[in-house]
Every structure is written in structure tokens, then in C-alpha cells.
Structure 1
Amino acid sequence: MRRYLTICAVCIAWALPVTAQEEDSQSLMEQGAELFFEGLRQEMEPALSEILGLADQLGPAMQSFVQEMGPALAELAAKIEDWSAYEAPELLPNGDIIIRKKPQDDLEEAPALPEPSDGLTDI
């Protein structure tokens, strides 16, 4: 029994440096993924810098749009209670945009939303 324990202890002592080396080094899959993402980052860098430049140019215009149109959009959203009661917007040939209300039959067929529970269960 002592020999068996001694052999196990020696094997474990020899295996420790090997497992430490495996943990430090990356597998081929990890190295490949790292190289892939590094190449992807290098390829995308010019496009990302252009997007950032475009954002710098459009930022003030978007900010003024939000300041001017924000209250009007909030007022519109307050008037429309249920967005699911309307169809998708439609562009007419003359340039007008219309949003039709869905027929009442379609609204009745729609499944009712479950009522919010208060967290208590009935026993």
C-alpha cells in the first residue's frame, strides 16, 4: 500500500508542471480565434473611424432635431394608447403617408395580454 501511495505521489508531482504549462499556453483554437478577431479589427478600423467622423458631423443636427421634435413626438405617443391597433404606415403615390386603424375583427382575434400578477400565488 505504501508503494502505491508513493507511486501516486510521484506521478502527481511530475504532472503538476505539465498542467501548469497547459494552462498558460493557448490552444490552437484560441490562437486562431485571437488572430481572426485581430484581423477583423484591423479590417474594420477604417470603417469605424469613418462612422465616428460621420457621428461628429451629424451629432449637432440630431440634437437639434430631438430638441424640436421631442415634445411633438411625446404628445403624439400620449394620444395613441395602443400601437397594435394600427397597421403599418403606407406611402401613397402623391407622397402622403397614412396609418390605417386595423379592422375591429382583427383586434378581437388578437390574444389578450396576461394580467400582471402581484407575485402571490393562489393556494
Structure 2
Amino acid sequence: MKQIMALTVAAGLLCAPAMAEDAPESEMGEGFDLMEEGARMLMRGLMSEMEPTLDALRDNLEQMGPAFGEFVQSVGPAFGELIEQVDDFRHYEAPEILPNGDIIMRRSPDAPAWEPEPDTSEIEL
């Protein structure tokens, strides 16, 4: 009798979770659908609010395009020369601007000794 009672209780315990899962599963699916729809509505609202700002940004970039190209052409070579002369920017302190407008980049005291790269260009004799 005890064995039959134990089997009945065990079967009831095993079936209870399966029966309980049916109701929350449909509610959970509905909850996820509502959350998904809410997220879509939020994104639509954000995009509609950001659209004028993005349009203005696109217009500004179109106007600045030619000027930016000229800037890159004029400053690009000088910046390339600077990169060749500086071994690693982490070895330098923040630049200082002097009263006369000159900019100084001092090497950090704890930086390793600077060794310029040897000139590998050929010299005609």
C-alpha cells in the first residue's frame, strides 16, 4: 500500500510541472510579443525624433566635403613627416603652446632614449 501511495505521489509531482508549464508558456509568449512590439515602437519614435538632426548633419557634411579634402591635402604631408620623426606618442608629454604660438612636444623623462632611424637613402659618390 505504501508503494502504491509513493508511486501516486511521484506521478502527481511529475505531472504537476508539465501541467503548470502550459499556462505560463502562453503568457510568456504573449509577454515577449508585447515587449518586442514595445521595442519596435520605441525605435520608431527615436528614429522619427532623430531624423531632422541626421538630415542636418548630412547637409553639413556635404558642404564641408570639399573643404575637408583641401585640408587633408595641405596638412597631410606635414602630418606624415611628424609621424616619421616621433617614435611613439606615449613617450611624449602633452604639447605646450607658447605665447608666440609655437608648439612644443617634450619627451617624457621616463621614456627610453631616443634613437633616430638610420638614413637608408643612398648617397652618390
- TM-score, structure 2 as length reference: 0.57
Choose the corresponding residue for 1:98, options 95, 103, 107: 103
Give the letter aligned to residue 47 of structure 1.
Answer: T
Give the letter aligned to residue 85 of structure 1.
Answer: H
Q: Which residue of 2 aligns with 1:53?
A: 59
Q: Which residue of 1 aligns with 2:8?
A: none
Q: Distance in 2 between matches of 1:67 and 1:109?
A: 33
| 1:63 equivalent in alignment to 2:69 | yes
Larger RCO (CA within 8 A; separation ≥ 6): 2
Give the letter aligned to residue 34 of structure 2.
Answer: L
| Aligned residue pair count | 106
Q: Which residue of 1 aligns with 2:16?
A: none
> Deviation digits for residues 43-84 of structure 1, max 9, x if unmatched?
000000000000010000000111111111101110111211
Choose the corresponding residue for 2:48, options 36, 42, 50: 42
Identity of counterpart residues, as a percentage? 42
Structure 1: any 5+ residue segments left out of the alignment? 1-18, 111-123
Give the letter aligned to residue 65 of structure 1.
Answer: F
> Deviation digits for residues 84-117 of structure 1, max 9, x if unmatched?
12112234555x2534424xxx65489xxxxxxx
Aligned-partner SS, 1:27: helix
Structure 2: any 5+ residue segments left out of the alignment? 1-24, 113-125
Q: Which residue of 1 aligns with 2:89?
A: 83
Stretches of 4+ aligned residues off by more than 6 angstroms: none
Q: Is the 8 A contact 1:86 1:99 kept in 2?
A: no
